[in-house]
Amino acid sequence: MSTMDELSGRVALITGGARGIGRGIALKLAQAGADLVINYLEREDAAHEVADWVRGMGRRVMLAKADVCDEDQVAEMFGNIATEFGHLDILVNNVGPFLVRKVLKMSVEEWNLMLAANLTSAFLVAREAAKLFGRTESGGSMVFIGAPNAERIGSQSESCAYSIAKTGVVILALTLARDLGDKNIRVNVINPGYIENDSMTPSMREWMPHEVPLGRVGTPANVGDAVLYLVSDRAAYVNGAVINIHGGLWV
């Protein structure tokens, strides 16, 4: 089987799949034959653009507007997935906003948002996904998107809440890898480094490459390639792995 159809017949949900890393992952999985559920909250135009690309590849696609921090909206989204597809095979927990703020200048609302959007959302979505995975004997695969070296982050002066949440994401994923393994559900983590996105300022584009041993920032497609490997049968014995995709940053 070629990489063009190795995910044929499988359904993949990508949270935050309309932009940036999520969009790069969505296109890679569609190219490999998967039908997609693209979750988004804002930028409906971007979500429809991705959906058009996916349909152009001959894949089925469902757009799912939902706040994945909200338990009721998550439950409704998965109910719609069950109605549309009947099962789910792949989950990519990609949602994860970033905030630069020193701890003592951070509001409670900002603190709660970082933990809810990065960590609680991953828990809510994974819990529901496991139920749909259980509808087939083939199990499934979850990939959680963390942060550079999130499994061993130290003190972070200006991104404390975000870093705590992303370290929590790794712990959550590794716990699920153990708890769901007997159901043939594999759970792994990808920690991206500096990845090209539309929020990068000219200043960031100038200094970021100089911090990376490979001398360049990554692309969403670089992350997408790693996700494709982890959710494919080529990674059938990969469970509980934490892979840093950061060009050597923080080595």
Q: Which residues are catalytic?
A: 162
- Buried-state track 21-39, b at ≥16 Cβ within 10 A, e below 16: bbbbbbbbbbbbbbbbbbb
3-state SS assignment for residue 148 = coil
Q: In what order do the strands lie in the sheet with 61-65?
A: 61-65, 35-40, 11-14, 90-93, 140-145, 185-192, 242-245
Number of H helices, E strands in the chain: 8, 7
Under DSSP, the state recorded for 158 is T
- DSSP bridge pairs for 36: 12, 61
Residue 119: closest CA among 167, 185, 177: 167
Q: How many CB atoms lie within 10 A of CB 159?
A: 19
How is residue 139 written in tokens?
């199990």
> Would you say 43 and 68 are in contact if contact means Cβ atoms under 8 Å apart?
no
Nearest CA to 125 out of 142, 148, 146 is that of 142
